[in-house]
Amino acid sequence: MLSFRRALVAAAFFITVLFFTTRSSTPAAPPSAVAYPKADSDTESKQGSDTTGTLVDAEHAGGHRNRPSQPQGQQQTIQDASKMTLYDRLAYQFPYDVETKFPAYIWQTWRWTPAHAEFQFREQEATWTEQHPGFIHEVITDQVAGHLIRLLYASLPEVVEAYAALPLAVLKADFFRYLILLARGGIYSDIDTYAIRSALDWIPEAVPRSAVGLVIGIEADPDRPDWKDWYSRRVQFCQWTIQAKPGHPVLRDVVARITEETLRRKQAGSLRSIVDKNVIEFTGPALWTDVIFEYFNDPRYFDMGQSAGPIDWRNFTGMENRRRVGDVVVLPITSFSPGVQQMGAKDTDDPMAFVKHDFEGTWKPESERHIGD
């Protein structure tokens, strides 16, 4: 009898411990040893750290839905994959759930790993580790990236084919960031980027993480009449740093478009003729910007019925606070482009300065970077 009672007490104790250890959200907890990393919303509850501005909603009056609206009678229980579009098959393979946590991954790519003698971004790379204790931080070489894409996209062979077919390293590097975030989520950042503040501070405390699935920054907001001589879009979103939950519809769309366009060009034999200046439209920030604006006005995700008009660059120009559209948080130019001394960007010591991009390790056309240098 006694041993039964003891067993009962032990069981109760065990359950209590389990209850508290699985529920507690103490930031001081050591990095968990579990295979799946702790997501940031566990550790983001530190009090009073957010003194850095507010968030403005820029929303169509009808609001946002996380699942696309489906016409009646189109629900299918058994999906015939052969009849589905690539976009739909990507959604099937990498479903999006806005309520999951932001995975605690940091993905970077470079020719060499930090262990290699030629690796020249130690200082930058270290800032990501320092700012994000408990995160899994991977610097992936080109060769490993190829293996990883084959593994993650094994059931979508045209994606693997498109990745392999891209003729320039810069195209592959662009494509890889969308692919890894779609499949796994977390943060992607170019290797030549310093983390100034933890990603836990990128969204204000008051905003529930369960309502946000994508965090992006502004690369360029050239408020000048000749902006077209320098930039491809009036407001351009940057893709050197992105935070996303897996399966986000914007990533799904950008992956589907790059895949289809690559295979179309492969078929037409025009893939090799892509030169540096085309990259921005093909895989780079121009395409990224277009896809995001289309998402903001996509009637599958936003009720456009009562909308005052499309959301376009006008809704983001000159902004100093974060802005939220549906499940996307757009950071002001200072956040990912501090210290560029133009377009209203403040310096790297501004509380809204989150990452600093050096433009060394990645290719970007000169004109996309330094007006007036």
Contact residues for ligand NAG (CB under 6 A)? Answer: 58-60, 308-309, 311, 314-315
| C-alpha to C-alpha distance for 5 and 24, rounded to whole angstroms | 28
Q: Identify which of residues 153 and 301 has a Cβ nearer to ligand NAG in the complex.
A: 301
Considering the complex, what minimum distance in angstroms separates the CB of residue 70 from ligand NAG? Answer: 24
Q: Based on CB atoms, which residue is closest to ligand NAG, 300 or 314?
A: 314
Shortest distance in whole angstroms from residue 209 CB to ligand NAG: 22
Q: Which is nearer to ligand NAG, 278 or 297 (CB)?
A: 297
Give the type of residue at 175.
F
- Closest approach, Cβ 238 to ligand NAG, in A, equals 21
CB of 309 to ligand NAG, least distance (A): 5
Q: Smaller CB distance to ligand NAG: residue 60 or 265?
A: 60
Choice between 257 and 322, CB closer to ligand NAG: 322
Buried b (16+ CB within 10 A) or exposed e, 182-194: bbbbbbbbbbbbb
Which is closer to ligand NAG, CB of 63 or CB of 208? 63
d(CA 262, CA 174): 13
Tokens of 250: 């914007």
Question: What is the DSSP pairing of strand 214-216 with strand 241-244?
Answer: antiparallel
Cβ-based nearer residue to ligand NAG, 102 or 296? 296
Q: Determine the residue type at 130.
A: E
Residues 342 and 195: their CA atoms lie apart, in Å, by 21
CA distance 344 to 332: 9
CB proximity list for 76: less than 8 A, separation 6 or greater: none
Smaller CB distance to ligand NAG: residue 90 or 216?
216
Which of 311, 371 has the CB closer to ligand NAG?
A: 311
Shortest separation between residue 207's beta carbon and ligand NAG, angstroms: 17
Q: How far is the CB of 299 from ligand NAG (least distance, A)?
A: 14
The Cα–Cα gap between 366 and 156 comes to 35
The CB-of-132 to ligand NAG minimum distance in angstroms stands at 32
Place of tokens 């974060």: 322
Q: Which two structure tokens, joined as six digits, stand for 50?
A: 């957010």
CB proximity list for 173: less than 8 A, separation 6 or greater? 109, 362
Nearest to 165 by CA among 251, 280, 256, 269: 269
* C-alpha angle 172-175-181 in degrees, rounded to nearest 5: 135
Closest contact distance (angstroms) between CB of 201 and ligand NAG is: 25
91-114 burial, b if ≥16 CB within 10 A, otherwise e? bebbebebebbbbbbbbbbbeeee
Closer CB to ligand NAG, 136 or 304, in the complex:
304
The CB-side HSE value for 214 (13 A sphere, CA atoms) comes to 26
For the bound state, the minimum distance from the C-beta of residue 352 to ligand NAG, rounded and expressed in Å, comes to 20
CB of 234 to ligand NAG, least distance (A): 12
Q: Closest-CB residue for ligand NAG?
A: 314
Helices (DSSP H) in the chain: which residue ranges? 2-23, 40-43, 86-93, 122-131, 142-152, 157-165, 169-184, 249-268, 276-282, 285-296, 333-336
The answer to whether the CB of 342 falls within 8 A of the CB of 219 is no
